[in-house]
Amino acid sequence: MDRFFAPNTSEALAHTHLTENWFTWDQDHPSFNETLVAGCASYQAFTRYLSGSDLFIVPRSPRELEGVLRRYAYDSIHNAIAVSRQTLQRGGYSRMCSLAEKSIRDVLNTNDNATVLLDLHTPQ
C-alpha cells in the first residue's frame, strides 16, 4: 500500500485515525469532518481493490479502474455517514466524493500506478 499512499499522506493518516477510533471519530470535531472521511475513503478504495475479494468484473482500462475505485470510495463514504452522529452539511456528500475522486486520480496518474493495478488482477 505504501506504493500508492505513503504512511505520512493525508489519506493514510485519515484511514489510521478512522480505523483506530471507529466508534468515536465523529466526536473529535464539532461538525462532520469531510476531509477526513474522503481521505479514508480513497485509501480504503485502494485497499479493497488490492485485496480483490469482491472484484467480479476485472477492469481492462484506466478509465474502468477509476470507476471501480470510485464506487469503492462511495461505499466507504456511505458507511462513514451511516455511523456518524454528526449532521452532514449541505453539499457535504458532493464535496467528499470530489475529494476522494481527486485523490484516486492523483494516485492513478502517478508513475505507472494504473498499469500496475490493472495488471494485478488480469487473468493469466
User: pLDDT band at 24, cuts 50/70/90?
Assistant: confident
Regarding predicted confidence, which is higher, 87 or 71? 71
pLDDT single digits (tens) 25-46:
778 777 889 999 999 999 999 9
Share of the chain above pLDDT 90, in %: 78
Measured at the alpha carbon of residue 2, what is the angle toward residues 65 and 80, in degrees to the nearest 5? Answer: 65
116 pLDDT higher than 80:
yes
122 pLDDT higher than 90:
no
C-alpha pair distances (Å), 119 with each of 44, 61, 72, 115, 123:
19, 10, 19, 6, 9
